[in-house]
Structure 1
Amino acid sequence: MIYKDIFKVQKNMRAVLLSLVPIVLFSIYIYGQRVLVLLILVTTIGTAAEYMWEKHYGSKASEAVFVTCILYTMTLPPSIPMWIAAIGILFGLFFGKLFFGGFGRNIFNPALVGRAFIYVNFPEPMTISWNVASGFFPGGFSSYLTQEIDAVSSSTPMIMFKNSGALADIKSLVLGTIPGAAGETCKILIIISALYLIYKKTASHEIMLGSVAGFSLLSIVMKFAGVHAANPLYGMMMGGFLFGTVYMATDPISAAKTKAGKWIYGLIIGAVTILIRSMSLFNGGMMFAILIGNTFAPIIDYFVKEAEKKKKEAAI
């Protein structure tokens, strides 16, 4: 069977896949080969599910499913049980994409729909992260495949700051030699990937900059107001903010599409992330902030278009 008979060829998706290669390789290096096994499992299950669904309706699976599976895997802690990861990708694809009509019709980012589902239903394994792979850290492509969570678990920088106010070393945060989700750790690689995606015109720089601006401005305001919040630099280096900004918030299907709307959409995501981190029980916030942004994206675009229409009518 020819590849093009199974999948819709999507050049933009291939650019995203290429940008993810260094992040995936670094994750396997740091946390060991369990990340690779997890990625293969999730991708196999996800692509098979979409292929069978689309085939039933006489259509092809989209190459976007590979992006969804990889992004979903990269948002998981490496110690996550395989069966929970499998449930999450199936839920995300069906309830975040396929039930809406497939690629191009989904309201929410399907990778985050899957992650949110297992985060709510399986909170303990979703908040435990490896600090060691095969007895040392970094892992160095270790063959460490078992969990042994009690022996190797450690608090992520986000949990540590939330509980005690302590900040991790900035060098470790930037380089990614910290416990956390599989793909969110090395900020250098994420920033390089962002520049590449902007160059290829695959991801919106307006959304990225808007998200950073919303996050930074509200961080400063809340810090001066005496609210428990890290300074913007540390805040952006902790958790999945940068990874979510580059790869999830900029999803062209679920994000705002007008130029002004993209800025507003990004500002909302950045600001809501800080609100959730500082004023809720959740340690992170980016995941829920993006899903909230997805909810308002069509409304934002509607009002932006209406405002532009009235402006043109007034100029006539």
Structure 2
Amino acid sequence: KEVFGGTGMNILNPALLARAFLFFSYPGWMTGDKVWIAGLTKWGSVIDGFSGATPLALSAAYETDKLPSFMEMFIGTIPGSIGETSTVAILLGALILIITGVGSWKIILSAFSGALVMALLLNAFAVNPYLELPFYYHFVMGGFAFGAVYMATDPVSAAQTERGKWIYGFLIGVFSILFRVLNPAYPEGVMLAILLMNVFAPLIDHYVIQANIKRRLRRVKVAINK
């Protein structure tokens, strides 16, 4: 935040920007199948680590037949990054954010809607098992749900206009699925999708405001002509 001038001045989500820097600077440490759990007890670690392919890694390798069940992914009993595995916990957090007014339900709902539409389009033109994956699996795999709820709703870097929030969130969902499925070098796309839409959020707000101004001017002209 300080790089952009302090609190409330950042044009990009600071947490995601920091993660993007670490991801591209140290990809070997930021990604992989090993989950470190050392130091679980006061007597030391039970085991040093757990190795296993995440659902996204299996899907990217077209091994969708080896995926955990939908319920396992929804509850979160799967390998994955901190905070992203349990969709049910993420949805509970989303409910709290919406009730307290911290997070915009428009952005959350439109992000899931965009992912739904894009996944269905890919299903229609599927040429491999990953593209054939049912749309609801995309909601519980990887960090999409976490990003849509906690990162896309950042009040500073997100769109500010009400209509702009719908457009902003919808495009995050669309690009998340596109980057995830069609980019073989990067199995998850929600981080890049949110950062991309952070850049375009001011432009979205600008055109929404201009459209409102033009609509009101037309109403004024009609009223004058009457």
- Provide runs of 4+ in structure 1 moved above 3 Å: 129-134, 141-149
* Contact 1:131–1:178 (8 Å) recurs in 2: no
Residue 132 of structure 1: CA displacement?
A: 7.9
2:223 corresponds in structure 1 to none
C-alpha RMSD over aligned residues: 2.0
Q: Following the alignment from structure 2 to structure 1, what is the Cα–Cα distance between the partners of residues 161 and 197?
A: 14
* Structure 1: runs of 5 or more not aligned: 1-96
- Whether 1:219 and 2:119 are equivalent positions in the alignment is yes
Instruction: Sort the Cα spacing of 1:102 and 1:145 in 2 relative to 1 into closer, same or farther, 3 A.
Output: farther
Residue 175 of structure 1: CA displacement?
A: 1.3
| CA deviation vs aligned residue, 1:221-276 (integer Å, no higher than 9, x gap) | 11111153322210110000001001000000000010000000001100001110
Instruction: Sort the Cα spacing of 1:305 and 1:160 in 2 relative to 1 into closer, same or farther, 3 A.
Output: same
Higher RCO (CA < 8 A, seq sep 6+):
2
2:179 corresponds in structure 1 to 276
Q: Following the alignment from structure 1 to structure 2, what is the Cα–Cα distance between the partners of residues 175 and 253?
A: 31
Q: Following the alignment from structure 2 to structure 1, what is the Cα–Cα distance between the partners of residues 69 and 157?
A: 35
Residue 127 of structure 1: CA displacement?
A: 1.6
Residue 128 of structure 1: CA displacement?
A: 2.0
Q: Following the alignment from structure 1 to structure 2, what is the Cα–Cα distance between the partners of residues 212 and 103?
A: 28
SS in 1 for 2:216: helix
2:59 corresponds in structure 1 to 161
**2:2 maps to amino acid:** L
Instruction: Sort the Cα spacing of 1:102 and 1:232 in 2 relative to 1 into closer, same or farther, 3 A.
Output: same
So what's the TM-score if we normalise by structure 1?
Answer: 0.64
Q: How many residues align?
A: 213
Select the structure that is richer in helix: 1
Instruction: Sort the Cα spacing of 1:146 and 1:295 in 2 relative to 1 into closer, same or farther, 3 A.
Output: farther
1:14 corresponds in structure 2 to none
Give the alignment partner of residue 231 of structure 1, picking from 122, 129, 134.
134
Counting only pairs closer than 5 Å after superposition, residues 3-18 of structure 1 correspond to structure 2 as: none
| CA deviation vs aligned residue, 1:112-136 (integer Å, no higher than 9, x gap) | 01111111121122222446847xx
* Structure 2: runs of 5 or more not aligned: 221-226
2:191 corresponds in structure 1 to 287
1:197 corresponds in structure 2 to 97
Residue 160 of structure 1: CA displacement?
A: 1.0
| CA deviation vs aligned residue, 1:255-311 (integer Å, no higher than 9, x gap) | 001000000000110000111011112110000000001010000000000000100
| CA deviation vs aligned residue, 1:152-173 (integer Å, no higher than 9, x gap) | 2221111111113322211221
**2:218 maps to amino acid:** A
Q: Following the alignment from structure 1 to structure 2, what is the Cα–Cα distance between the partners of residues 260 and 240?
A: 25
